[in-house]
Structure 1
Amino acid sequence: ELDDAKMRYDMASARLSSAKEMKAEVNAQFAYANIRAPFSGSVTAKFINEGDLANPGMPLVTIENSDDFEIQARIPEHLIGQVKKGMRVMAVVKSIGENIQGEITQISSSSINTGGQYLIKVKLEDHSKSLQSGMFASVNIPVENPSMETPIYIPKSALVKRGQLSGVFTVSQSETAILRWLRLGEETEELVEVLSGLSAEESIVLSSEARLFNGSKINISNSGE
Structure 2
Amino acid sequence: MHSTTQSSLNLLSRNFIILSAYLVSSFAFATEIPLETITAKSSSQTLYLQLDAKVEPIKSATVAAQTSGRVLAIHYDVNDMVPEGAPLLEITSKEQGAGLAGAEAELAKAQAQNIEAQAQFERYKALFPQGAISKGAMDEATSYAKSSKQAVSAAKAKLISAKENVNYTIVSAPFTGRVTGKWVEQGETISYGQALLSGYATDKLRAVFYVPQQYRQQLADLTSITLSDDVSTYQSDAINKFNFSTQADQSIEVRVQLENQQQTLQVGQWLKAALPVDQVDTIYLPKSAIFQVGELTAVYRKQGDKYLQTQVRLGKQVTSAEITQVEILSGVMDGDSIINDAASYVLLLNQTQSDNVQ
Higher helix share: 2
- Which of 1 and 2 has greater Rg? 2
* TM-score of the aligned structures, taking structure 2 as reference length: 0.30
Q: Which has the higher strand share?
A: 2
Structure with more relative contact order (C-alpha pairs < 8 Å, separation 6 or more)? 2
